[in-house]
Amino acid sequence: MIIKRSYYGLFCTVFFVILLILKMTMQIPVMTFVIFGIGYLGLADTLYVRYRLKEKNNLDYITFVIGALMIIWTLAEVLFPH
């Protein structure tokens, strides 16, 4: 079975969410910026596939919403460090 190119960004985003939940609940030994790197990779891949390769997928909106939350979280960490 061949997976369409437009699903790779969604897989990265779902993997990001799973890793972040595991990081917050079970304290897995993965650095947070690595987890966010996976999330940003998924967002970048989804944007590239959607607007450059013109492959449309209704599940892309999940990646866009989670990507917007990642950007807001990152800006909040930069503007208001703790």
* Distance in angstroms (rounded) separating the CA atoms of residues 34 and 31: 5
Q: Please report where in the chains the tokens 């990507």 appear, as a residue.
A: 67
Q: Could you tell me the CA-to-CA distances from 12 to 15, 18, 49, 76, 81 in Å, in that order?
A: 5, 10, 14, 23, 27
pLDDT of residue 82: 81
40, 69 in Cβ contact below 8 A?
no
Task: Return d(Cα 44, Cα 75) in angstroms, integer.
Answer: 17
3-state secondary structure of 61: helix
pLDDT digits over 18-71, tens only?
999 999 999 899 999 999 999 999 999 999 998 888 888 888 899 999 999 999
